[in-house]
Amino acid sequence: MRVTGGEAKGTQLKVLPGHSIRPTTSVVRGAIFSLLESTAEGWCRVLDLYAGSGALGVEALSRKAEWVDFVDHRRKCCDIIKYNLEKTGGLHKAHIYCCSVNKAISFLSNNYDIVFIDPPYSDSTNDLLVNLANSELVGGSSTIVVCHANRFPLNPNYDGLCLAKQRRYGDTFISIYQKGG
């Protein structure tokens, strides 16, 4: 897996071996950042939930994000994120939280411009979006990017988070939410 754009374009990223994570393909990552270029107002602070290899957050740093917080509960994934940040020169612009997403949401207090949610395909994303909508992490200009499978459809609205765009790439859907309408 390689970084698809920006300063680190072409850099090979390390991923966890086996089937325990589902890395976002380069086609889907490219589509996400293409959508963000026309949707997101800011790129200063980014939150990468269920970060896995950290590919989405590393890609954001490569494309001029100023800071990325990564969250993953698996120690091996946190070590891989650190390795990928060192390799791409982004370690000084990031923090890795090795804990559950729900725990991170309970103590993080920054307002993020972009929030990536790319969990292992499951139906728990609906609850997470409700929690995010009611947290300090999402402000009026925040953009939330959710990768999910068709078999786990999402609602068009979560307590003020409204679906702005949605695209399908094979079994993967990219849903982009923003506050308001």
Other C-beta atoms closer than 10 Å to the C-beta of 74 total 15
Give residue limits of the domains in the chain. Answer: 26-179
Name which of 174, 148, 146, 176 is nearest 162 in CA terms.
176
pLDDT at 20 over 90: no
pTM: 0.93
CATH label, 26-179, candidates 3.40.50.150, 3.40.50.1970, 2.102.10.10, 2.60.40.10: 3.40.50.150
Report the largest interatomic distance among the alpha carbons of the chain, rounded to a whole angstrom.
41
pLDDT at 152 over 60: yes
Tokens of 69: 């917080």
For residues 74 and 19, what is the distance between their CA atoms, to the nearest angstrom? 14
pLDDT in tens, 39-49: 777 789 999 99
